[in-house]
A and B are shown apart, each in its own frame.
Chain A
Amino acid sequence: MVKSVKVYSTSTCPWCIRVKQFLKENNIEFENLDVSGDQLAADEMMAKTGQMGVPVLDIDGEIIVGFDKERIKLALGL
Chain B
Amino acid sequence: MKIYDLIIVGAGPAGITAGVYAARKRLDFLMVSLDIGGQAAWSGEIENYTGYQFITGPELAQKFQEHVLKYGAAIRENEEVLGLEKTGSVIRLKTNKADYQARSLIIASGKKSKELYVPGEKEFKNRGLTYCATCDGPLFAGREIAVIGGGNSALDAVLQLIRIAKHIYLVNNASHLSGDAVMLRKVEGAANVTVLNNTSVTAVLGNRFVQGIKIKNNLKENELAVQGVFVEIGLIPNSAFVRGVEKNSKNEIVINLRNQTNIPGIFAAGDVTDVPEKQIIIAAGEGAKAALGVFHYLSENNF
Q: Is A53 an interface residue (CB 8 A)?
A: yes
Instruction: Name the residue of chain B whose CB is nearest to the CB of A11.
Output: B138
B137 with A12: CB separation less than 8 A: yes
B78 with A10: CB separation less than 8 A: no
Interface size of B by CB at 8 A reads 26
B139 with A50: CB separation less than 8 A: no
B139 with A42: CB separation less than 8 A: yes
Q: Is A57 an interface residue (CB 8 A)?
A: no
Q: Is A15 an interface residue (CB 8 A)?
A: yes
B127 with A14: CB separation less than 8 A: no
Instruction: Name the residue of chain A whose CB is nearest to the CB of B43.
Output: A14
Instruction: Name the residue of chain B whose CB is nearest to the CB of A21.
Output: B62
Q: Is B132 an interface residue (CB 8 A)?
A: yes
- Using Cβ atoms and an 8 Å threshold, which residues of chain B touch A51? 126-127
Interface size of A by CB at 8 A reads 24
The smallest beta-carbon distance between B262 and chain A, in angstroms, is 34
B136 with A13: CB separation less than 8 A: yes
- Using Cβ atoms and an 8 Å threshold, which residues of chain A touch B58? 12-14, 17
- Cα-based distance from A42 to B143 in the complex (angstroms): 14
- Given known contacts A69-B77, A69-B78, A13 and B135 CB-to-CB distance under 8 angstroms: yes
- Using Cβ atoms and an 8 Å threshold, which residues of chain B touch A70? 78
Instruction: Name the residue of chain B whose CB is nearest to the CB of A39.
Output: B141
- Given known contacts A14-B61, A69-B77, A52 and B135 CB-to-CB distance under 8 angstroms: no
The smallest beta-carbon distance between A25 and chain B, in angstroms, is 12
- Cα-based distance from A72 to B222 in the complex (angstroms): 44
- Cα-based distance from A10 to B140 in the complex (angstroms): 12
- Given known contacts A12-B134, A14-B42, A54 and B127 CB-to-CB distance under 8 angstroms: no
- Given known contacts A12-B44, A12-B58, A54-B136, A36 and B141 CB-to-CB distance under 8 angstroms: yes
- Given known contacts A17-B58, A50-B208, A69-B77, A10 and B138 CB-to-CB distance under 8 angstroms: yes
- Given known contacts A50-B127, A52-B126, A14 and B37 CB-to-CB distance under 8 angstroms: yes
- Cα-based distance from A52 to B57 in the complex (angstroms): 21
Q: Is B130 an interface residue (CB 8 A)?
A: yes
- Using Cβ atoms and an 8 Å threshold, which residues of chain A touch B77? 69
- Using Cβ atoms and an 8 Å threshold, which residues of chain B touch A65? 126
- Given known contacts A53-B126, A53-B130, A14 and B136 CB-to-CB distance under 8 angstroms: no
- Partner-A contacts on B (CB < 8 A): 36-37, 41-42, 44, 56-58, 61-62, 77-78, 126-128, 130, 132, 134-139, 141, 208-209
